[in-house]
């Protein structure tokens, strides 16, 4: 039996908030490696507490949140996975990560095409990349 909820259909992920030790270092990774752009900062007493990122090609929103203790405690956790349009895009990303010396789990078979799991960000958080052949809502 299907139950309908009052909120209606869900529309995907609005953003992911990720604890980081160093906002500038993490922003450089997400900008230079994955193409994210600065959207706005969350003000704090001694500088920004967080930095909101957007992707010009519609990737999920990411908020980098300055919390060195939580960043260290959650290193090694696979926080989220991002969709890429093709196996060729996955291969191109893997080659770029290799060129930069960024650790990852290698291209692997997936239920749909291929995946690139365990990409390490500067705090050791793990990001996955999967092929999504269609537009998602």
Domains and CATH numbers, the chain: 15-131 (3.10.180.10)
- Answer yes or no: is pLDDT of 136 > 50: no
Interatomic CA distance for residues 55 and 126, integer angstroms: 19
Please state, in angstroms and rounded to a whole number, the distance separating the CA atoms of residues 35 and 2.
40
| Residue 76: burial class (beta carbons within 10 Å; 0-12, 13-18, 19+) | exposed
| pLDDT for res 82 | 93
| Tokens coding 133 | 């052949």
Position 2 scores a pLDDT of 64
Which 8-state DSSP code applies to residue 129?
E
| pLDDT higher than 60, residue 137 | no
Q: If phi over 0 gives left and psi between -120 and 50 gives alpha, with beta otherwise, what is residue 49? A: alpha
Nearest of 45, 43, 51 to residue 15 by alpha carbon? 51
User: 71 in helix, strand or coil?
Assistant: helix
Q: Which pLDDT value is given to residue 59?
A: 85
The yes-or-no verdict on residue 4 having pLDDT over 80 is no
Distance CA 101, CA 61 (A): 25
At 7 the pLDDT is: 73
Give me the sheet containing 78-84, strands edge to edge: 78-84, 126-131, 114-120, 108-109
**DSSP 8-state class, residue 101:** T
Asked whether the predicted pLDDT for residue 1 surpasses 90, the reply is no
What are the tens digits of pLDDT across the range 20-78? Answer: 999 999 999 999 999 999 999 999 888 889 999 999 988 899 999 999 999 999 999 99
């Amino acid at each position: 039996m299907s139950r309908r909820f009052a909120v209606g259909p869900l529309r995907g992920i609005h953003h992911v908030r990720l604890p980081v030790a160093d906002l500038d270092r993490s922003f450089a990774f997400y900008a230079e490696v994955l193409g994210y752009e600065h959207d706005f900062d969350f003000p704090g007493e001694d500088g920004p507490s967080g930095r909101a990122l957007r992707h010009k090609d519609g990737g999920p929103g990411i908020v980098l949140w300055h919390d060195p203790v939580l960043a260290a405690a959650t290193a090694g956790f696979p926080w989220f996975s991002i969709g890429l349009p093709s196996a060729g895009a996955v291969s191109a990303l893997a080659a770029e990560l290799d060129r930069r010396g960024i650790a990852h789990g290698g291209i692997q078979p997936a239920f749909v095409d291929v995946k690139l799991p365990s990409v390490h960000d500067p705090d050791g958080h793990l990001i996955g990349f999967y092929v999504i052949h269609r537009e998602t809502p």
